[in-house]
Amino acid sequence: MFTIEHEFDATVITLVDDGAAPLNEDAIVNAFDDCITIEQVDTRTDMVVRITLSLTQVRDLAAALDLPEGIYHLRDPAKV
């Protein structure tokens, strides 16, 4: 399950782990103009862990989800 909310400077997507136990904490994805952040509470420390991905990294991640094992470099179609 997930929710989508549009705020002033970001689109916020919350991914709720509603599968079989053990469940993980919700993951919150914040989409800004120049980056994406992913936040999740670490239950061992009770602190929020945040990673920041550039839009290029997000593009590469999206492509990687559908590719077999290997090393890839995506080309910018505007530069070909």
Fill in the DSSP letter of residue 77: G
pLDDT of 76 > 90? The answer is no
Residue 53 has a pLDDT of: 97
CB 14 within 8 A of CB 7: no
End-to-end Cα separation, the chain, in angstroms: 39
pLDDT tens per residue across span 10-67: 999 999 998 888 899 999 999 999 999 999 999 999 999 999 999 999 989 988 888 8
pTM of the predicted protein model: 0.81
